[in-house]
Amino acid sequence: MTATKEVIYAGGGSLSALPQETFILNVGPQHPAAHGVLRILMEMDGEWITSAEPIVGYIHRMHEKMGENRTYAKFLPNTSRIDYLAAMHYTHAFVGVVERAAKIEVPLRAEYIRVIVAELQRISSHLVGWGAWIMDLGGLTPILYAFDDREKILDLFEHICGARLTYCYHRFGGVCNDVDDFFLQGTRDFVPYMRKRLKMYRDLVTDNIIVRKRLEGIGIMDAEMCRRYGATGPVLRGAGVPYDVRRAEPYSIYAQFDFEIPHYPQGDSMARYLVRMDEMEQSLRIIEQALDQIPAGPVMGKVPRVLRLPAGDYCYAVEAGRGRFMIRLVSDGKDTAYRLKLRTPCLSNLSPFAEACRGMILPDALAMLGSLDLVIPDIDR
C-alpha cells in the first residue's frame, strides 16, 4: 500500500497529496452472509477495511427477564430458543444449573441419553454451520448434502421428543422420554454412515483448492486475542488452545469417555474449519462409546413437585456447538430465579471481529465472519 502511495502521477502530484477519502459501508442488518439480523458498519479505504463495528440487538428478546418472572419449569422451553442450532446443549446447561442448586440426582441412563443427544446435536449444528459457510464462499452444493445428513439426526430427535428444532427434551432430574430401540439402532447405524460422509466431505470441500485459497492464512485470531476477548469453542481451538468445557469442567458423565480435543495452531479460518470437521469425528466416537455402555433403568430422578432452589448463586457451563455456554443463576429461595445470566459463546466470539478484520479486504472479512459460525439470536438473546 505505502509503495503505491508514493507513485508520482503524470500530472506532477503524488498520490499521497491527493485527498485520502474513506467511505462507510453498511453490511446488514439484512445480509445473506450474516445468517441473521446482524449489522456491521465498516469504514473502507478502497477495498480495505479500516474499521468495522458490529451492531447487534435487532432480535433481542430479553430471555434473562423471562427467566426472572416465571418458574424454572416454565423457563425450560426458552432455553431451546437462544441458539436454535444447539438447543440440546442449552437445555442441558439450564437443567444442569438447577440440578446443581437443588442437588437433584440424575439416573445414569438419563446421563447417557443426554450425552448421546448432545453429541448428535453437535454434529447437526456443525453441519449447518459448515454448509452455510461454504455457501457464503460460493459453493452451493455442500449445504444440500449437509441438510440431508442433518435430516437423519432430526428424524431421530423427532422420534424421541416430537420436535425437530426446539426440543426441550431435558427435564430437571432426567429426560422426558426414554429412548427406544428405534432411536438406539438408528443412532448406531448413523455412526458408520456419517464417517463415510465425512470422508466424502473431505474429498469434496476440505481439499478443494478454492476453499484452501479463501481460508488459509486469512482471518488470523491468535490465542492471545481469544484470551483477551474470551472467545471459546472452535474459534479458540482453531488458535491452538485445547480448551473444551467437557474436559475443563467435566459435567454430566463426559469424564468417562475417551475423546480428543481437536486443535490447530494456525489461528486462521482454515484452522477453525478443520476443528469443526474433526469434532464431528470425535462426537461419533463418544456416541459409539455411549451406545456400548448405556445401562437400563429409569430416566427420571426424584424431583420435588414445587421446585424452590436454596438461596445462593450457582454456575454451570457446557460446551455448546459454538463454545462455552454458562448460566449464572442467583436464587433467593423462591420458585423463580432472582437473576439468570446467560453467557453465550457467539457474543464473545464476535467481539474480537472488529480488531481481527482491520486491514482485510471485504470478501476475506465475510469468509472470516462465516468461520465464526454465528447464530444471531444467541448474541441478542
Partner 1 sequence: MKPSLEQLTQEFTQLIGPAAGPAPAAPAPSAVQVVDFAARGVNLDVTVAPDQVVAAAQLLDRHGFSLDTITGVDWLAQGQMEVVYDYMHFTVNLRIAVRTRVPRDQAAVPTISTVFPGANWHERETHDFFGIFFTGHPKMSPPFLLPEDADFHPLKKDYKP
Q: What residues make contact with partner 1 under the rule CB under 8 A?
A: 56-57, 60, 62, 64-65, 68, 97, 100, 223, 226-231, 236, 241, 243, 248-249, 312-317, 324, 326, 328, 330, 338-339, 341, 343, 347-348, 351-352, 355, 380-381
Nearer to partner 1, 152 or 322 (CB): 322
CB of 342 to partner 1, least distance (A): 9
CB of 101 to partner 1, least distance (A): 9
Q: How far apart are the C-alpha atoms of 299 and 179, rounded to whole Å? A: 9
Residue 340: its H or E element: strand 339-343
Nearer to partner 1, 255 or 306 (CB): 255
Compute how many other C-beta atoms are within 10 angstroms of the C-beta atom of residue 137. Answer: 19
Beta strands per DSSP E along the chain? 23-27, 30-31, 36-37, 39-45, 48-55, 170-171, 174-175, 312-320, 323-331, 339-343
Nearer to partner 1, 168 or 236 (CB): 236
Region at 211 (left for phi over 0; alpha for psi -120 to 50; beta for the rest): alpha
Nearer to partner 1, 130 or 243 (CB): 243
Nearer to partner 1, 96 or 142 (CB): 96
Here the cell at position 167 is 426440543
CB of 108 to partner 1, least distance (A): 17
Residue 223: its H or E element: helix 223-229
CB of 78 to partner 1, least distance (A): 16
Nearer to partner 1, 275 or 326 (CB): 326
Nearer to partner 1, 134 or 226 (CB): 226
Strands 48-55 and 39-45, sheet pairing: antiparallel
Nearer to partner 1, 231 or 280 (CB): 231
Can you tell me whether residue 64 is helix, strand or coil?
helix
CB of 345 to partner 1, least distance (A): 11
Altogether, the residues listed in the chain come to a count of 381
Q: How far apart are the C-alpha atoms of 377 and 57, rounded to whole Å? A: 9
Q: Where do runs of H (alpha helix) occur along 45-140?
A: 63-68, 72-75, 87-102, 108-136
CB of 365 to partner 1, least distance (A): 19
Region at 17 (left for phi over 0; alpha for psi -120 to 50; beta for the rest): alpha
CB of 17 to partner 1, least distance (A): 33
Nearest to 289 by CA among 257, 320, 337, 266: 257
Number of H helices, E strands in the chain: 16, 10
Nearer to partner 1, 214 or 322 (CB): 322
The amino acid at 343: R
Nearer to partner 1, 201 or 314 (CB): 314
Here the cell at position 171 is 427435564
Can you tell me whether residue 43 is helix, strand or coil?
strand
323 - beta bridge partners? 320
CB of 316 to partner 1, least distance (A): 5
For residues 224, 258, 150 and 110, what is the CA-based torsion angle, rounded to 10 degrees? -110
CB of 347 to partner 1, least distance (A): 6
CB of 380 to partner 1, least distance (A): 6
The angle formed by the CA atoms of residues 116, 318 and 325, to the nearest 5 degrees, is 130
Here the cell at position 181 is 430401540
